[in-house]
């Protein structure tokens, strides 16, 4: 059941699309062994340790991720209590439980299982990260936490079977701050007899916006809710159950809090005197591994040309057990060299300014990033900054239509472009193409609505940037 560009921002999370090839994009995911191997029903918090998938979206061998990062799932604010004859612990929302077809006593189930454990959701309904939208994940290798929302309390209360009821809160707490996590949901929906019902999630966390990356037709995502659009929910994805991947856009998140609701379609009773009904669904989290941050908050990081040097300035809003910063340089954005190191403050709640001057940049594009290292040698990387020492001349190209819905067509007035890239408004590279000419087009259909930048470059270093609106 169930545009002079001395500097522009590029976060080094490149998803490369050339001739159908997708470049590996390291991600952190839930996998076998990273969560409890026990059954419920239980209300005990579930602690899941993220594992590294270095070749995402392909599933290879999972390895330990550093810095070690966990997600803890906790249920609170239960709105209903069940008698011991229906659930010994009295919980109406629990981990690791499922329906019982022959008794009102709840049935124990795995608390942590593969994503193919319920609902039959196909792999291509999911996206591990926002850089791999539509590439799918392994539903046998990727795991998730099982949540059971019992319908028995509504049956006990003779509640309307066409109503929508608040059941409890679900809080996901991260041991280290994560930016833009992806919430994986599997199998929102179920039935008992003729009655269809579905769990739905309302986001309480402020400063976070939800959007659908991929999923079944039933998965309906608003900026603050994960819903099932099926008028008659069932337990099967694609035929009444909702499954898919939801991007939670927000920086340095330490928790996500949802209200859980149960909605019925009014076709029958919530349960019977010989059935324990309810909606079992799976929920997990994944993210780009570069988006897990240390307890050092960099509020600004800029890079600019000054004569023949590149000047890097950054400010930390706070630091906790920080050791030092390593400055990395690249001329291609793919291979990096360490060019210096600066000691960090260690512990501070005040803003601290840092500066590093690179005295030997190369002609053309120079890329810079910071590695934050703490006193336990755990580290994370900043966004990437570019300083271009070539003359910033314009390529007179046009793009249409803008706003775009599906494909963006390019007119370069006959100029051959050596590269073109699509980035998000905050600088994450989503797509890179080579050797484009007039009349060719770029696929935008895979991306959610929003603002993007389209950056084009010729062999002699000329660059032009267009702001693109996606409907």
pLDDT, tens digit, 9 for 90 and up, residues 323-334:
999 998 887 655
Backbone angles phi, psi at 227, to 5 degrees: -125, 165
Check whether residue 81 and residue 199 sit in a common domain: yes
Q: Pick the residue with more confidence: 37 or 390? A: 37
Backbone angles phi, psi at 374, to 5 degrees: -100, 180
Check whether residue 43 and residue 76 sit in a common domain: yes
Looking at the 3D structure of the chain, how many domains does it have?
3
pTM of the model: 0.64
- DSSP states along 24-54: ---EEE-BTTSS---B--B-S-EEEE-EEET
Lowest-confidence range among 132-136, 257-261, 279-283, 379-383? 379-383
Q: Would you place residue 11 in the very low, low, confident or very high pLDDT band (cuts 50, 70, 90)? A: very low
Q: Would you place residue 299 in the very low, low, confident or very high pLDDT band (cuts 50, 70, 90)? A: confident
| 334-370 pLDDT, tens digit each | 567 889 999 998 888 888 999 999 887 877 788 888 8
Nearest Cα residue to 236 out of 221, 223, 254, 217: 217
Say what the pLDDT of residue 416 is.
73
Count CA atoms closer than 13 A to 98's CA, side-chain side.
18
Final residue before a domain boundary, out of 275, 291, 307: 291
**Tell me, what CATH number does 461's domain have?**
2.60.40.1930
Residue with tokens 């709105």: 79
83: alpha, beta or left, given left = phi > 0 and alpha = psi -120 to 50?
Answer: beta
Is 459 within a domain?
Answer: yes
Backbone angles phi, psi at 40, to 5 degrees: -105, -160
**Tell me, what CATH number does 366's domain have?**
2.60.40.10
Say if strands 209-215 and 242-249 run parallel, antiparallel, or are unpaired. antiparallel
CB-count burial class (<10 Å; 0-12, 13-18, 19+) for 365:
buried
Final residue before a domain boundary, out of 338, 363, 388: 388
Final residue before a domain boundary, out of 365, 388, 411: 388
Check whether residue 331 and residue 403 sit in a common domain: no
User: What three-state secondary structure class fits 444?
Assistant: coil
Residue 437's domain comprises 398-470
- How far is residue 246's CA from residue 237's CA, in Å, rounded to a whole number? 16
Check whether residue 348 and residue 449 sit in a common domain: no
């Amino acid at each position: 059941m169930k545009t002079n560009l001395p500097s522009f921002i590029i976060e080094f999370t490149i998803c490369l699309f050339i001739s159908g090839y997708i470049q590996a994009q390291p991600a952190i995911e839930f996998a076998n062994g990273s969560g409890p191997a026990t059954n419920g029903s239980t209300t005990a918090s579930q602690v899941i340790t993220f594992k590294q998938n270095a070749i995402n979206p392909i599933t290879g061998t999972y390895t330990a991720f550093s810095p070690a990062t966990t997600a803890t799932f906790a249920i609170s604010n239960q709105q209903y209590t069940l008698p011991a004859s229906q659930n010994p612990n009295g919980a109406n929302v629990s981990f690791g439980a499922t329906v019982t077809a022959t008794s009102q006593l709840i049935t124990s189930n795995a608390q942590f299982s593969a994503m193919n454990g319920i609902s039959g959701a196909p792999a291509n309904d999911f996206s591990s990260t926002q850089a791999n939208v539509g590439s799918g994940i392994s539903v046998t290798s990727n795991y998730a936490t099982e949540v059971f929302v019992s319908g028995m309390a509504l049956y006990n209360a003779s509640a309307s079977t066409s109503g929508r009821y608040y059941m409890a809160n679900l809080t996901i707490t991260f041991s280290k701050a994560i930016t833009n996590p992806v919430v994986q949901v599997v199998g929102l929906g179920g039935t008992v007899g003729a009655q269809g019902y579905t769990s739905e999630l309302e986001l309480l966390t402020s400063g976070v916006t939800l959007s659908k990356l991929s999923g079944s037709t039933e998965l309906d995502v608003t900026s603050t809710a994960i819903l099932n659009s099926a008028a008659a929910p069932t337990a099967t994805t694609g035929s009444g159950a909702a499954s898919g991947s939801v991007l939670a856009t927000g920086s340095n998140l330490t928790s996500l809090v949802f209200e859980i609701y149960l909605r019925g379609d009014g076709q029958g009773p919530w349960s019977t005197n010989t059935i324990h009904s309810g909606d079992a669904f799976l929920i997990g989290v994944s993210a780009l591994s570069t988006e897990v941050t240390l307890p050092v908050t960099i509020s600004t990081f800029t890079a600019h040309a000054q004569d023949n040097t590149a000047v890097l300035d950054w400010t930390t809003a706070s630091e906790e057990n920080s050791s030092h910063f390593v400055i990395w340089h690249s001329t291609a954005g793919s291979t990096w060299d360490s060019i210096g190191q600066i000691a960090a403050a260690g512990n501070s709640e005040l803003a601290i300014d840092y500066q590093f001057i690179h005295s030997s940049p190369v002609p053309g594009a120079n890329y810079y990033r910071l590695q934050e290292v703490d006193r336990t040698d755990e580290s994370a990387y900043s966004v990437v900054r570019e300083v271009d020492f070539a003359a910033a001349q314009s390529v007179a190209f046009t793009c249409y239509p803008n706003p775009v819905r599906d494909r963006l067509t390019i007119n370069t007035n006959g100029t051959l472009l050596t590269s073109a890239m699509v980035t998000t408004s905050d600088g994450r590279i989503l797509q890179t193409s080579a050797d484009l000419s007039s009349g060719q087009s770029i696929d935008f259909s895979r991306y959610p609505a929003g603002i993007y930048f389209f950056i084009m470059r010729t062999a002699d270093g000329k660059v032009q940037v267009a702001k693109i609106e996606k409907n």
